[in-house]
Amino acid sequence: MAFRLKLVPDHTDIDFFRWQWLTFGLSAAAMLASVIIVAVMGLNFGIDFKGGTTIRTESTTAFEVGDYRQALAPLDLGDVSITEVFDPSFGQTQHVAMIRIGTTDETGSVTPEQLNQVEAALKTVDPEVRFAAVESVGPKVSGELVKTAFYAVGAACLGIMAYIWLRFEWQFAIGCVVSLIHDVLLTIGLFSLFQLRFDLTTIAALLTTLGFSCNDTVVVFDRLRENLIKYKTRPLIDLMNLTCNETLSRTIMTAVTTGIALTAMLIFGGDVIREFVVAMLFGVFVGCYSTIYVAKNIVLWLGVKRDWAKPGEKKDKPATEEIPAAFRDAP
């Protein structure tokens, strides 16, 4: 007998609206908290958005960040931040550091002479150190990238809203977009709270999260429309509960299987894609939550069209049509 993994029973009867004010209130509070956190703490923009030069160093011997900082102090490079990178995939003799040097001139990058000075200064405290990668972005380019990134997220939300509006109704579009804004704000708030690097890969993760969350929401909305046709007189809140219970297994299985793949990437993918995976992993589960507890609440409050019969289709067939012609006049 084949083994089947079931995360959700075949038939569930969960009342998703039992705590609707609590769940929606928590979502609203989390969105507000994310905005406040970003306003107070800001985002740790990466080299793509901030401009400057990032140097990735590797060494076979352990080092102290304070020694690196002390060695670079006489060079007067301006805004310099040094962080040690930890990763389970690193070997015992692999020690990595990220050195970020702020914009120094209109080009936003340090000169080759300055790079040589940095390398020479670091070798005085760690002779085994070497530069594994050097990236530079100018301030003008970084400013344009910031605008383009936010335009991309905004355009994605508007495009999704237009698609949902054309496929369903405007109430569904509003519910979907509110849930997407919820996902984006909470993900950005997470990055601001823990000061994770926010760069172009994070924007790519946000856009991917929008697509994942929209797909989940469309599946629920499509089943809701089918139930609206099937049960024309049933209360809308009961239909939404029925719809969420019918699609719960698919929603949970999709989120869990995607989460397993992303967790493997988080553990074995290295620090280069860590921020991308963190944004994706958090966005997947937040998107799953918003599909069930945010989007449908908005649709319930706005109300929906109950009659989805096609034009010209009779809503209720006369009783005589269900009786064979030979028996219609029978006593």
Q: Are residues 25 and 89 in the same domain?
A: no
Final residue before a domain boundary, out of 137, 172, 191: 137
Average pLDDT score over the chain: 82
Does the pLDDT at position 169 exceed 60?
yes
126 within some domain: yes
Final residue before a domain boundary, out of 99, 122, 137: 137
Q: Are residues 129 and 73 in the same domain?
A: yes
The answer to whether residues 149 and 49 touch, using CB atoms and an 8 Å cutoff, is yes
Q: Are residues 123 and 158 in the same domain?
A: no
315 within some domain: no
Does the pLDDT at position 318 exceed 70?
no
Does the pLDDT at position 105 exceed 60?
no
Q: Are residues 115 and 215 in the same domain?
A: no
In the sheet that holds 52-59, the strands lie side by side as: 80-85, 95-101, 52-59, 130-137
For range 153-182, the mean pLDDT: 89
Enclosing H/E stretch for 96:
strand 95-101
330 within some domain: no
Q: Are residues 167 and 27 in the same domain?
A: yes
| Domain total of the chain | 2
The answer to whether residues 109 and 53 touch, using CB atoms and an 8 Å cutoff, is yes
Q: Are residues 205 and 99 in the same domain?
A: no
CA separation for the pair 202, 248 (Å, rounded): 28
Q: Are residues 30 and 171 in the same domain?
A: yes
Tens-digit pLDDT profile for residues 187-226: 999 999 998 888 888 888 998 998 898 989 999 999 998 8
326 within some domain: no
What is the DSSP track for 240-258?
HHHHHHHHHHHHHHHHHHH
Q: Are residues 121 and 172 in the same domain?
A: no
Confidence band of 290 (pLDDT split at 50, 70, 90): very high
276 within some domain: yes
Residue numbers of the domain that contains 272: 20-43+141-302
**121: Cα separation from own chain's centroid:** 41
Final residue before a domain boundary, out of 92, 111, 137: 137
109 residue type, one letter: S
- The residue among 226, 261, 229 whose CA lies nearest residue 246 is 226
For range 135-140, the mean pLDDT: 70
Q: Are residues 182 and 265 in the same domain?
A: yes
Tens-digit pLDDT profile for residues 215-264: 899 999 999 988 888 888 889 899 999 999 999 988 899 999 999 999 99
**This prediction's pTM:** 0.74
Confidence band of 307 (pLDDT split at 50, 70, 90): low
Which CATH number characterizes residue 223's domain?
1.20.1640.10
Q: Are residues 237 and 112 in the same domain?
A: no
Q: Are residues 28 and 66 in the same domain?
A: no
Confidence band of 60 (pLDDT split at 50, 70, 90): confident
